[in-house]
Amino acid sequence: NAGVMQNPRHLVRRRGQEARLRCSPMKGHSHVYWYRQLPEEGLKFMVYLQKENIIDESGMPKERFSAEFPKEGPSILRIQQVVRGDSAAYFCASSPGGRDEQYFGPGTRLTVT
């Protein structure tokens, strides 16, 4: 059973470009969480999704950030018009249920130049 997969592992974007981060949950998991980790800081919750639904997006910046988890395919975290402050590691986690252990992917390291 493959673990949580994220791609790309590293992404470099210039200011103003769009960044798309993908997360494939573990097989059988229908809950996906996105976290951001700034250098030297802990993880910050961004958004919690189930298939085709956003359950909680209270940690998402109001502008430029969006997330989806379609019926088919991976979950996507999309950042439009990236700025240098968006440079961080973005982790995705999945779980079979909302209160279960979360299994984390290796993360995508976004660098905005």
Partner 1 sequence: SQQGEEDPQALSIQEGENATMNCSYKTSINNLQWYRQNSGRGLVHLILIRSNEREKHSGRLRVTLDTSKKSSSLLITASRAADTASYFCATDARNQFYFGTGTSLTVIP
The CA-atom distances, in angstroms, between 22 and each of 4, 41, 68, 87 are: 11, 22, 10, 16
Site track for partner 1 across 73-112, x = CB under 8 A: ------------------x-x----xx-xxxxxxx-----
Q: How near is the Cβ of 81 to partner 1 at its closest, in Å? A: 26
User: Are 16 and 84 contacting, i.e. CB atoms less than 8 angstroms apart?
Assistant: no
Q: Give, as ranges, the residues between 51 and 80 that touch partner 1 (CB under 8 A).
A: 55-56, 58-59
Q: Which is nearer to partner 1, 1 or 58 (CB)?
A: 58
Q: Which residues bind partner 1 (CB under 8 A)?
A: 4, 6, 33, 35, 41-45, 48, 55-56, 58-59, 91, 93, 98-99, 101-107
